[in-house]
């Protein structure tokens, strides 16, 4: 029992004064005004929308913290296994709207704010996105936190408290410009824990010494120390008191490190140098999505975060006074990609160097604790660290990695005695110049389960990157957990009217915690009244997006046109270039049409959005081409509403919440075999939009669930990619599709401005092997887009397809994923508050 550990008089005094958190409108106003007047030192006379937001957020934060405290006590006393989700990225977006909905007090806040003179929408939109991530991987982590709390799992997220999140994108003269995102100016959602600090060591050397019973022991010594300070953010579950924790580590100079000698000598500037160097560790999020750059500061970030998190986890475990062998019964750690792989090595180091366990005993604990989620098979994204770099920064860890590798290779040798090549193929150390540590192999060897994120992807990792490991460990170590999304944020919050309409038919909002209940909607796919309401909601969502486009770009788009949307990171493998080449083809085709033919066309708005990594020149060129095409098409009076091309600046989670509900069709058109899963594909379908896509990632399972007739699939299959690439490089009869050729001619003749700017992009497809197979899929893409045009004309049928699709999307809830992780990988039970 939580309470019985505290003597009665104190218990009663605490109980008497413990706030329960507001529930009525009056109490909400009370709390909000108190915060505005005292915490923020503002008054009725100078309270603007930002202050109203801050007061409201603080009122909600207080409420969450009360539940957070109780949840942590409950979980400590329950003494059961917890999950720790280690992710270098959490793309959380805004917190206030989500908190209001999850605790069920949005209406109370709406009425209360109205009394105080504010519209809730204006207040919500004051919040700065917490953009601690690049794209899908970070947003997945955020959806998982929502599901973990909603399903009452005792779970913590661990990440870094970057001072600068992903940069803000401005489009200036059709080019991406990056602006720093300093998001911490006022962040009411975090709690600094200045008492929770960990000293993190870097550099130095390893001292060997004789331990008890004559064994050689190792100790990591010298080097420098940086301090990690914890900042906590409460994560409320939906309709449950469970409020979990996201702990973010911030770096600062360790307390003894300030150089007072220098300071006293008047060398003020250099005396703060160490401090600044320490703070650099958690300063920035690396802005690369699916690309490994091997920079020392990034490795520092990874170790800093892993070491601080593990220290915290181990400290918590040690309080239970259980034997070390019980560690995997109390702790499950999930590695979101290879970024936290050093946690495996760090736990082994703690167990053997500090806790004095034998190697084998320690290694059994380690491997039973970790699970590893792979997110890519693309070579440029698979992390490797140079051995000399690691030797310098983490000398003891490198030794342990060599020992892990030696034990592993000996095991492989015993299993495959004659296969020398196998040894060099699977070694953690790549024998290159310089030698490299292959992090995906280390993560695989140090975990008890490895999972991919969609069926095709999990099959691909079993047959490509981890093929040898499947024969070494057997197939059971490798599994699949298809990604999912939280229906709370991505339906209920982003599309409240659709959520309400669905609830009205299903008799309540239970579908938000059991998304499979959506299947009861299918019976309404032919219901005229229902379809009409459905269409009205889609139209209203398109009007909202059209307003956003008008306000931000000055271009007026017709909400009655077909909205065709591709928003995601700009990457050659995601093939925004295929989309824009298709748009140019459409433009040229319309230009050549007679007025009669034009009358038959459904007007289209092609909408793009997404950030390019600042150093990814080709991706930036794609953005520039989209903007340049828009510049011409949008001002071509002869075209009018038939085609508009829009680039939405600074795509992020809060924009996604406006964009996703407004699509008629969205594009998920990666080169087959490259997109591990995708999650925006799920979000668009769940919001009543159809998708055009390749047979890649989760598109395949979406098709299985919603039916082939409800999706526009096109293009070559993953199994054909290798042969096609071979043919591009070595074949002798390559002819470009005439339609695509016409598109390139238009670009090269300057139709969209100075053609030189697009030379490299055109050449990459025409002359340089077309690695992403744009030319191979172009004609089937164009034909499939024509099918979209045709299908859109029959609105009755179109809406029926949308309704049927939504009704079959139950599988893609992140609650289902978390259930699978909990059962298959973590072996953890929920703890339901009484
Ligand atoms: N970026 C943001 C802001 C998102 O919200 C999402 C998913 O919704 C993604 C990226 C991932 O998109 P995709 O799955 O299309 O790569």
Residue 543 pLDDT exceeds 80:
yes
Reading the block at residue 8, the tokens are: 């009665």
Q: What is the ipTM of this complex?
A: 0.94
Angle between helices 759-766 and 738-748 (to 10 degrees): 160
Active site residue 128: no
- CA separation, residue 634 to residues 171, 219, 584, 676 (Å): 16, 66, 12, 35
CATH fit for domain 79-94+129-482+821-826, picks 3.40.50.12780, 3.40.50.2000, 3.40.309.10, 3.30.70.890: 3.40.50.2000
**CATH topology for the 559-796 domain:** Rossmann fold (3.40.50)
478: three-class secondary structure by DSSP? strand
Active site residue 375: yes
pLDDT tens sequence across 40-72: 999 988 999 999 999 999 999 999 999 999 999
Lowest mean pLDDT among 309-313, 683-687, 764-768: 764-768
pLDDT band at 631 (very low <50, low <70, confident <90, very high): very high
Q: In angstroms, rounded to a whole number, what is the distance separating the alpha carbons of residues 129 and 110?
A: 21
User: What is the arithmetic mean of pLDDT over 542-546?
Assistant: 98
* Residue in 91, 136, 488 to alter for ligand 1 test, most ligand atoms within 8 A of Cβ: 136
- Regarding the beta carbon of 136 and ligand 1, being less than 6 Å apart is answered yes
- Regarding the beta carbon of 687 and ligand 1, being less than 6 Å apart is answered no
* Residue in 94, 679, 701 to alter for ligand 1 test, most ligand atoms within 8 A of Cβ: 679
Beta strands in 97-167 (DSSP E): 130-132, 155-160
Q: What pLDDT does 257 receive? A: 56
Q: In angstroms, rounded to a whole number, what is the distance separating the alpha carbons of residues 742 and 740?
A: 5
Q: In angstroms, rounded to a whole number, what is the distance separating the alpha carbons of residues 438 and 295?
A: 15
**Residue range(s) occupied by CATH 3.40.50.2000 in the chain:** 79-94+129-482+821-826, 559-796
User: What is the arithmetic mean of pLDDT over 666-673?
Assistant: 98
pLDDT tens sequence across 248-272: 999 999 876 566 677 777 777 777 7
pTM for the full predicted model: 0.97
Q: What pLDDT does 2 receive? A: 62
User: What is the arithmetic mean of pLDDT over 472-490?
Assistant: 98
Calculate what percentage of the chain has a pLDDT beyond 90.
92
- Nearest atom in ligand 1 to 136's CA: 11
Residue 732 pLDDT exceeds 80:
no
Q: How far is the CA of 135 from the centre of ligand 1 (A)?
A: 5
User: What is the arithmetic mean of pLDDT over 772-795?
Assistant: 98
**Any idea what the Cα angle at residue 361 is, between residues 355 and 363, rounded to 5°?**
90
pLDDT tens sequence across 496-509: 999 999 999 999 99
pLDDT tens sequence across 179-223: 999 998 889 999 999 999 999 999 999 999 998 888 899 999 999
- Nearest atom in ligand 1 to 675's CA: 16
Q: Which residues contact 17 (CB under 8 A, 6 or more apart)?
A: none
Q: What pLDDT does 664 receive? A: 98
Reading the block at residue 803, the tokens are: 């309704």
- Regarding the beta carbon of 568 and ligand 1, being less than 6 Å apart is answered yes
- Ligand 1, atom 11, lies closest to the CA of 136
Q: What pLDDT does 256 receive? A: 62
Q: Which of 568, 585, 604, 808 is catalytic?
A: 568
């Amino acid at each position: 029992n939580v309470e019985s550990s505290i003597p009665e008089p104190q218990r009663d005094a605490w109980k008497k004064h413990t706030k329960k958190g507001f529930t009525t409108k009056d109490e909400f106003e009370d709390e909000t005004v108190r915060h505005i007047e005292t915490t923020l030192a503002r008054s009725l006379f100078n309270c603007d929308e930002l202050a109203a937001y801050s007061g409201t957020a603080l009122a909600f934060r207080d409420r969450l913290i009360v539940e957070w405290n109780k949840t942590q006590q409950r979980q400590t006393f329950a003494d059961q296994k917890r999950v720790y989700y280690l992710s270098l990225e959490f793309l959380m977006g805004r917190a206030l709207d989500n908190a209001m909905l999850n605790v069920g007090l949005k209406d109370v806040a709406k009425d209360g704010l109205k009394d105080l003179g504010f519209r809730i929408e204006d207040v919500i939109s004051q919040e700065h996105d917490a953009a601690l991530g690049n794209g899908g991987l970070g947003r997945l982590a955020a959806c998982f936190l929502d599901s973990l709390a909603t399903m009452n799992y005792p779970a913590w997220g661990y990440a870094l408290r970057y001072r600068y999140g992903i940069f803000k994108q401005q489009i200036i003269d059709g080019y991406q410009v990056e602006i720093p995102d300093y998001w911490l100016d006022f962040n009411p959602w975090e709690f600094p824990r200045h008492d929770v600090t960990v000293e993190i060591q870097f550099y130095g050397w390893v001292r060997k010494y004789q331990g008890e019973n004559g064994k050689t022991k190792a100790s990591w010594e010298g080097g420098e120390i940086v301090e990690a300070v914890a900042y906590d953010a409460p994560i409320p579950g939906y309709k449950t008191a469970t409020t979990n924790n996201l702990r973010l580590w911030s770096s600062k100079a360790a307390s003894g490190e300030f150089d007072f000698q220098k300071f006293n000598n008047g060398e003020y500037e250099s005396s703060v140098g160490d401090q600044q160097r320490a703070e650099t560790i958690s300063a920035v999020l690396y802005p690369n999505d699916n690309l490994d750059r091997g920079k020392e500061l990034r490795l520092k970030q990874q170790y800093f975060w892993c070491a601080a998190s593990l220290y915290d986890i181990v400290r918590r475990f040690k309080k239970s006074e259980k034997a070390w062998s019980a560690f995997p019964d109390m702790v499950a750690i999930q590695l979101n990609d290879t970024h936290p792989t050093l946690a495996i090595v760090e736990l082994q180091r703690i167990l053997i160097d500090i806790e004095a366990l034998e190697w084998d005993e320690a290694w059994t604990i380690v491997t039973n604790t970790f699970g590893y989620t792979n997110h890519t098979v693309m070579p440029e994204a698979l992390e490797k660290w140079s051995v000399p770099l690691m030797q310098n920064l983490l000398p003891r860890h490198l030794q342990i990695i060599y020992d892990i590798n030696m034990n592993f290779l000996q095991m492989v040798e015993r299993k495959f005695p004659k296969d020398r090549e196998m040894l060099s193929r699977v070694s953690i150390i790549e024998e290159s110049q310089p030698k490299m540590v292959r992090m995906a192999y280390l993560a695989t060897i140090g975990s008890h389960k490895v999972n991919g994120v969609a069926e095709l992807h999990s099959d691909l990792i079993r047959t490509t990157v981890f093929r040898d490991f499947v024969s070494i460990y057997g197939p059971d170590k490798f599994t699949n957990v298809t990604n999912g999304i939280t229906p709370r944020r991505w339906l209920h919050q982003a599309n409240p009217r659709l959520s309400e309409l669905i609830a009205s038919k299903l008799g309540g909002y239970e579908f938000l915690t059991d998304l499979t209940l959506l299947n009861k909607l299918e019976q309404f796919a032919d219901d005229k009244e229902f379809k009409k309401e459905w269409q009205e909601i889609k139209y209203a969502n398109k009007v909202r997006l059209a307003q956003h486009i008008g306000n931000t770009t000055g271009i007026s788009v017709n909400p009655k046109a077909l909205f065709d949307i591709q928003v995601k990171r700009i990457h050659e493998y995601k093939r925004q270039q295929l989309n824009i080449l298709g748009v140019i083809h459409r433009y040229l085709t319309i230009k050549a049409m007679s007025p009669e033919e034009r009358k038959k066309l459904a007007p289209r708005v092609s909408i793009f959005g997404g950030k390019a990594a600042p150093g990814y020149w080709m991706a930036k060129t794609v953005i520039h081409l989209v903007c340049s095409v828009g510049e011409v098409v949008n001002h071509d009076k002869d075209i009018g509403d038939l085609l508009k091309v829009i680039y939405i600046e600074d795509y992020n989670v809060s924009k996604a919440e406006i964009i996703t509900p407004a699509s008629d069709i969205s594009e998920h058109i990666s080169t087959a075999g490259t997109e591990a899963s995708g999650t925006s594909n799920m979000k668009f379908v769940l919001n009543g939009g159809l998708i055009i896509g390749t047979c890649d990632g989760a598109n395949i399972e979406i098709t299985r669930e919603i039916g082939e007739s409800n999706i526009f699939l096109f293009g070559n299959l993953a199994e054909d990619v290798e042969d096609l690439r071979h043919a591009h490089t070595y074949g002798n009869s390559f002819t470009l599709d005439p339609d695509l050729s016409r598109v390139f001619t238009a670009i090269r003749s300057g139709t969209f401005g100075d053609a030189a700017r697009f030379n490299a992009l055109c050449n990459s497809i025409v002359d340089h092997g077309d690695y992403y197979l744009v030319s191979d899929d172009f004609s089937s893409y164009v034909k499939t887009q024509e099918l979209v045009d045709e299908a859109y004309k029959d609105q009755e049928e179109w809406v029926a397809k949308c309704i049927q699709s939504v009704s079959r999307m139950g599988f893609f809830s992140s609650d289902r994923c978390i259930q699978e992780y909990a059962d298959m990988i973590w072996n953890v039970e929920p703890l339901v508050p009484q």
